[in-house]
Amino acid sequence: MTTSKSVVIGVLALQGAFREHIAYFNELIQQNPNDYADYEFNIIEVKTKEDLSQCDSLVIPGGESTSISYIAERTHLLPHLYEFIADESKSVWGTCAGMIFLSRQLLNGKLNQKILGGLNVEVSRNAFGRQLNSFEQPLDFSSFIPGCTNFPTVFIRAPVVTRILSNPVHSQEEDHHKQGVIMTENPYVNNASVEVLYSLKNYDSQDHDLIVAVKQGHILGISFHPELAGDYSFHKWFIDEFVLKRKVHS
Ligand SMILES: NC(=O)CC[C@H](N)C(=O)O
What ipTM did this prediction achieve? 0.96
Residue 237 Rama label (left phi>0; alpha psi -120 to 50; beta):
alpha
Judge whether 239 is annotated as a binding position. Answer: no
pTM here?
A: 0.95
Q: Is the CB of 157 within 6 Å of ligand 1?
A: yes
User: What CATH superfamily is the domain 5-249?
Assistant: Class I glutamine amidotransferase (GATase) domain (3.40.50.880)
Which residues are annotated as catalytic? 96, 225, 227
Q: Which atom of ligand 1 approaches the CA of 156 most closely?
A: 1
Mean pLDDT of 126-142: 88
DSSP 227: G
Q: Is the CB of 210 within 6 Å of ligand 1?
A: no
Q: Is the CB of 107 within 6 Å of ligand 1?
A: no
Contacts for 165 with CB less than 8 Å, ≥ 6 apart: 104, 105, 120, 121, 122, 173, 174
Mean pLDDT of 14-28: 98
pLDDT tens sequence across 206-223 = 777 899 999 999 999 999
Q: How far is the CA of 224 from the centre of ligand 1 (A)?
A: 9
